[in-house]
Amino acid sequence: MARLISIIVGLGFVVVLLYTFAVGAYTAATEKAEVTAEHEFHLTPRDAHLQSAGWTGTFDYQQVQRGYQVYKEVCSACHSLRHVAIRNLGELGYSEAEVKAEASSWMVPGIDPNTGESTLIEGSPTDYFPSPYPNAVAAAAANNNAVPPDLSLITKARHDGGNYVYSLLTGYADPETYTHDGKSLKEEFPDFTTPTGLNFNPYFPNLNLAMAAPLSDGQVTYADGTEASLDQMAKDVAAFLVWTAEPTLQKRHATGFPVVLFLIFASVLAFLAYRNVWRNVKH
């Protein structure tokens, strides 16, 4: 009886699925799936060859410092960094005095000690990086309705984040003349347009993003004398944003190696103990 009910129920599921499958297969066969420009021309990120990549990844602190300079002079005009405190710069190799001096170059929200009113005061190392806009509405209003995302976690919030940031910053192109793998975007998709106020970039999922190309050659003057090419700045800021998203990356890798090596050693010992315990028992 139990088996009879079971077979009936099972046939029920199979019949419903067969019906669904048949309808779906008929639709798939008769209606040609629309091929979109996003599908054909969206690119996966290029490799920025960051030192933080891979299992032995570490931070190139010189580079991360340069990336911080790019963030401060360019990105911070629109993008916040709310999970990072100014004191965290100490981890990049800045001395205590340098961190203090750096903190005082940022104006952060505070309270006027005389009147008690909200105002901007000079930052201290314990402050977090201030947001360029007081709230999301102000951010949207200033940016053609697109809120610039917070950058603290951006390299973890995108697939292959470090390379993505680098590719996006260097990937702006003109949709009229854009070609990839010998295929021209305009020839394949004559109807493709980049709306006014948006910018074409093949590394962005729908190919059109609100941010205009923010970097151009020589935009910052690096303190360490490195030539500030677009490629260099994009790599440096990607390295910086990998650090802001995962400041513990280097410590994590450094901890992981002895832990894994110890566990491999312990497993070998455990295997020998197992063989020894079972040596007289066939199994």
Which residues contribute to the site for another protein (CB under 8 A)?
Answer: 2-3, 6-7, 9-11, 13-14, 16-21, 23-25, 28, 33, 55, 83, 88, 149, 152-153, 156-159, 161, 205, 245, 247-248, 252-253, 255-257, 259-260, 263-264, 266-267, 270-271, 273-274, 276-283
Q: Based on CB atoms, which residue is closest to another protein, 110 or 149? A: 149
Nearest distance from C-beta of residue 104 to another protein, angstroms: 23
Nearest distance from C-beta of residue 242 to another protein, angstroms: 12
CB 155 within 8 A of CB 191: no
Q: Based on CB atoms, which residue is closest to another protein, 160 or 231? A: 160
Q: Which residues are annotated as a binding site?
A: 75, 78-79, 211
Report the candidate in 201, 217, 232, 251 with the shortest Cα–Cα distance to residue 58.
Answer: 251
Q: Which residues are annotated as a binding site for heme c?
A: 75, 78-79, 211
User: Which residues, at least 6 apart from 181, have a Cβ–Cβ distance to it below 8 Å?
Assistant: none
Q: Based on CB atoms, which residue is closest to another protein, 5 or 97? A: 5
Nearest distance from C-beta of residue 268 to another protein, angstroms: 8
Strand 199-200 relative to strand 208-209, pairing: antiparallel
Nearest distance from C-beta of residue 261 to another protein, angstroms: 9
* Interatomic CA distance for residues 42 and 204, integer angstroms: 7
Q: Based on CB atoms, which residue is closest to another protein, 135 or 267? A: 267
* Interatomic CA distance for residues 53 and 86, integer angstroms: 25
Nearest distance from C-beta of residue 273 to another protein, angstroms: 5
Q: Based on CB atoms, which residue is closest to another protein, 17 or 212? A: 17
